[in-house]
Every structure is written in structure tokens, then in C-alpha cells.
Structure 1
Amino acid sequence: MTLILICLLIATLMPILAKAPLAFAQNKQQGGYDNRHPRAQQNALVGFGARAKAAHENCFEALIMFTPGALAVIALNQVGPIAQYLCIAFIVARIAYLFCYWFNYHLLRSICWGLGFLCSIGLIGLTLY
């Protein structure tokens, strides 16, 4: 169970960690990071900055898909090797997804997204039988 909880912690922290490249891109804009209107500044980003923003936002979406499955596995006492592998695979896929998004590897990014999604669905599937 500890491994699944660690994966939940990493998944929960991932949106915050993914904010760093976004903040970097904002800081590189003329005038630097606009702490008074950061969302307006983010909407004006292009290239790497726009991809960093999208990757950051997608971390929240992935967290919403992963959390129910991980919690269901714990709540229904389905913690086993398969559940642990799915959780680890989710984290690895999501980290790879971030790097693919930042560096514009769009096809590989989509594959990583799909793998993370399948891991999330797989966790819920484990609890159904």
C-alpha cells in the first residue's frame, strides 16, 4: 500500500512541479514574471511557454483520472503487484509525457498520455472483480 500512496503523493505534486517550466517561460518574457496577472501572461505565451502551460494544466486532469483508481484499490484491499505496477507505470508515463510536451514530441506525448490513461482505467478495473 505504501508504494501506491507514494505514487499518489507524486501525482499530487506533479502539477506543482510542472509549474516550474511555465514560470521559467513567463520570467523570460519582457518585463519578467507578472505576479499581478499571471494567467493573462500565461495566455499570451507561445512555443515552449504555451506547451509548458498546457502540460501544467494537463497534470490536474491526469490527477483526477488517477486518484479514484488508486484510492479504490486501497479502499477495496486490491493492493497487489499489478496495482503497484500500474501506479508506477502511470507516474513514469506522466513524467515522460511532461518532457515530450515541453520538447514538442507530439506523437510520443500522445502515446504517453494513452499509457497513463490506461493505467488509471486499469486500477479501476482491478476493483471490479
Structure 2
Amino acid sequence: MLAIAYGCVLIAAVLPYLWVAIAKSSGERYNNRNPRAWQARQEVPRSNLANAAHLNAFEAFAPFAAGVILAQLAQVPADRIAALSVAFIVFRVLHGLMYVGNRHALRSLVWVGGLACVVALMIMAMLRAGMPAS
């Protein structure tokens, strides 16, 4: 079961690059000499929205990875860690799709779902860490 959670950490680590690939393929011909200046010049909404999804995916990665590690260290049952990890990935993929599709209300809703998964992992770790050893 932990292999599923670890696979989800890998997916979450790679997900930002999916969104940036969409950003770079949606604007004018990509120029790698100065990528940030290139992105700043883009007027194609899809490019800018995909770039924002890319940045948000990076922001979400560290808390998620920490939540998985903390839950494992605290010996939270592996099936719970795996279930929350899969749910997090589903929410994050939907988040990026809603971002690129400019569906701001749904994007915020699925963002909350992903955050809830991270918070649940951390709370379960905290509660298990406070339990006496059996």
C-alpha cells in the first residue's frame, strides 16, 4: 500500500511539468533563452492559466510529500495513507484541468479537496504520534 502513496508522491512531483508543457505549447513559439520573460509576454489565456497551474502544483507538492512521510513515520495505516494520496492526486489533476479551462469556482473547490487530504494526513500523523506505543 505504501508503494501507492509513494507513486502518488512521484506523480505530484512531475505534475507541475505537465502544466508548464501546456503553457509553453499554448503561447507564441517558445524561446528557452529567457523563459520567464517569454511567459510574461504571453497574451494567450491558456498559456497564462497553465503557467499558474504549474506554479500552484509546485506549491502543493511539499506539504503533500511531508504529509505522506509524517503519516508513514507515525505508522498511520498504509491503506489510509494510500487512499488520501490517490484522492490528493485526483484533486490536483482536476485542479490543473479547471485552471487551464478557466473554471475558477470548480478550481477552488477541488483545491480545498486536495488541501483536506494533506491536512488529514498530517492530523492522523499527529494523533498517532501522541498515542502510547503498544
Aligned equivalent of 1:112:
110
Output aligned runs, 1:27-106, within 5 Å: 29=28, 32-46=29-43, 47-106=45-104
Q: Give me the CA root mean square deviation.
A: 1.1
1:76 Cα shift?
2.0
Question: Residues of 1 paired with 2:18 and 2:46: CA distance?
Answer: 16
Unaligned runs of 5+ in 1: none
Range moving further from structure 2, 94-103 or 10-19: 10-19
Alpha-carbon displacement from aligned partner over 1:66-85 (angstroms, at most 9, x marks no partner): 11101111222213322221
Question: Residues of 2 paired with 1:17 and 1:104: CA distance?
Answer: 17
Unaligned runs of 5+ in 2: 128-134
Alignment-mate amino acid for residue 67 of structure 2: G
Question: Residues of 2 paired with 1:68 and 1:14: CA distance?
Answer: 17
Structure 1 segments (4+ residues) deviating >4 Å: none
Q: TM-score, normalised by structure 1?
A: 0.91
Bigger radius of gyration = 2
